[in-house]
Amino acid sequence: MQVTSAQIIDTVGNTTIRIDSLIGFTGVAQDWPWDVQWGPDNSLWFTVGDKVCRYDTATQIIHTILNRPDTTSNTMSIAFHPNFGTTPIVYVTVDTAEYYYSYSGGPIVLYKYDYSASGDSLYNETSILGWSHGGEHCGGRLHVGQDGYLYCTTSEYFFSSDTTGDLHGRVLRINLDGTVPSVNISGDYPISKGHRNPQGIVQVPNGNIIISEFGQIIDELNLIQEYGYYGWPATDGDNCFDPDSCNSPTWSYISPIDTAMRPPSGIAYYDHPAIPEFQGCILQCILSFGGYQGGLVASKLNATMDDVVSDVHYFKGEYKRFRDVCVSPDGKVFVITHDRMEPVIRCISNPNYVIGLEEFGNVSINIFPNPAQAMINLSSDKNIGSWEIISIDGKKILTGSCDALSTQINISDLETGVYFLKMKDGVKKLLKL
């Protein structure tokens, strides 16, 4: 892999966008990236071969922070502890087979690592759990939810059973220390079953968890409901092959919220005005496969974020297979394109979008700490008066007032990202970890 530089001007609907090439890869199996995540340190993290890497978008330097000694293993998905600033823990799924092709059952393992900022490395590898897989169907996507649990997808219910401890074809809910949560009424990790090959997972702002699923013929987006049964191998899409198995006395069958014949991979939720055509949409990476063209599908959600009302397929065939996608707080979209060919990590942005807020005014306004996770201290040489915390897209998030020179503000409920603190005498930028 190497840092690369190229720029393309394109359009998404009526919006002019810029597509920048950031990192190029050779195209050999151990140089295929699989997962991209916007990190809590405001850099781009990705997995490739046996490595976890971090790309500094300011310096354009790639840092390899994990290089596993087993060169046949493949790092897959990554997720971050929700209090990364004080608890720097990273979760990584690793396929111990050679590029997840092992029909002999080489396991996928979920590991927990500590992150050293001074050493810029992951260390203290701790195995949480593992599961076998037949062929390249792996699942292995990770997400830390708003409820503080780690969610993980696994693949191929066809090879599983309903016995306790079977992890195939499931969505798992896991405590951050690796134990089974007490809220899991089954006493086991799975909270849904009947998934064939779940390729992506995301949580939308109202808390709903949605996964993308590579079907046998019909591909799906599924809204995860606790102890729901999603049908595989008795169903594909909404096609029931085995009526006696399409329902279970203990698990209720749940229909997909979207179906199509376009094999999906990673997904992300876009909630930013920079690219209006993407706003309020699940962005699905599409793998060119069996005659279907790759690209990025924007699936518009309804007001309750539990159904898809429209799909638009962008970049159809232009950049071949799209493997994964993530979104930064300022509305940029990072994608892996040309998967399994000569992959490239690219950045999609709107060069004409202006936030509309900048720091200005009274330079004696102080915010400490900044970045912050929970409490910030605000001080000024004048009485503070009324204040507002505004999101990067101009939404008013918190308000208050203080007839004093200093105060404390609790920002623990804010999502990670960039905000502005606005007072009568000025505006200051605030970074929430």
Reading the block at residue 397, the tokens are 């998030």
Q: Are residues 315 and 393 in the same domain?
A: no
Q: Judge if 259 and 389 occupy the same domain.
A: no
Which tokens in the block code for residue 347? 């950045």
β-pair type (228-229, 235-236): unpaired
- The answer to pTM > 0.85 is no
Please state, as a whole number, how many other Cβ atoms lie within 10 Å of the Cβ of residue 59: 10
Q: Is residue 83 part of a domain?
A: yes
Alpha-carbon distance of 245 to 248, in angstroms, equals 7
User: Same domain for 313 and 368?
Assistant: no
Nearest-angstrom CA–CA distance, 56 and 427 = 27
**Are 50 and 19 in the same domain?**
yes
Could you say which of 321, 349, 377 is where a domain stops? 349
253 and 319 together in one domain: yes
Q: Indicate which CATH number applies to the domain containing 188.
A: 2.120.10.30
> Are residues 323 and 399 both part of a single domain?
no
Tokens of 401: 């007032």
- Residue 404 within any structural domain of the chain: yes
**Is 34 found in the same domain as 148?**
yes
Q: What is the dihedral of CA 17, 14, 339, 417, to 10 degrees?
A: 60
CA-to-CA separations, 201 to 22, 213, 351, in angstroms, rounded: 24, 9, 28
**Are 376 and 332 in a shared domain?**
no
Contacts of 35 (CB under 8 A, 6+ apart): 46, 47, 75, 76, 77, 78, 141, 266, 324
Pick from 135, 47, 43, 31: nearest CA to 94: 47
Tell me whether the omega of the peptide bond preceding residue 264 falls within 30 degrees of 0, making it cis. Answer: no
Instruction: Order the strands of the 396-402 sheet from edge to edge.
Output: 360-361, 426-432, 417-423, 385-391, 396-402
**CATH at 372:** 2.60.40.10
Q: Tokens 């998030």 sit at which residue?
A: 397
- Domain assignment present for residue 354? The answer is no
Give the end of a domain, one of 349, 369, 397.
349
Check residue 360 and give its pLDDT. 56
Q: Give the span between the Cα atoms of 83 and 283, in whole angstroms.
A: 26
**Per-residue model confidence (pLDDT) at position 6:** 87
8 Å CB contact between 349 and 20? yes
Instruction: Find out whether 397 and 390 touch, Cβ atoms under 8 Å.
Output: yes
Quote the domain boundaries for residue 382: 360-432
176 and 27 within one domain: yes
Instruction: Please list the pLDDT of the chain residue by residue as tens digits (433 residues).
Output: 888 888 899 999 999 999 999 999 987 777 889 999 999 999 999 999 889 999 998 899 999 999 987 667 789 999 999 999 899 999 999 988 765 555 555 788 999 999 999 999 999 999 999 987 777 777 899 999 999 999 999 988 666 566 777 888 999 999 999 999 999 998 999 999 989 999 999 999 999 999 999 988 899 999 999 999 898 888 888 888 777 667 666 666 899 999 999 999 999 999 998 999 999 999 999 998 777 889 999 999 999 999 999 999 999 988 999 999 999 988 999 999 998 889 999 999 998 876 655 555 554 678 888 888 889 888 877 787 888 888 876 677 888 888 887 888 999 988 888 888 887 767 788 888 7
Residue 62: name the closest of 78, 81, 43 by CA: 43
**Of 349, 381, 397, which one is at a domain's C-terminal end?**
349
Q: Are residues 376 and 233 in the same domain?
A: no
Cα distance between residue 338 and residue 318, in whole Å: 9
Does residue 67 sit in the same domain as residue 209? Answer: yes
Is the same domain home to 395 and 253? no
Quick one: 49 exposed, middle or buried, by C-beta within 10 A (0-12, 13-18, 19+)? buried
383 three-class SS: coil
Query: Domain tally for the chain?
Result: 2
One-letter amino acid at 192 equals S
Residue 402 amino acid letter: C
Residue 285 is which amino acid?
C
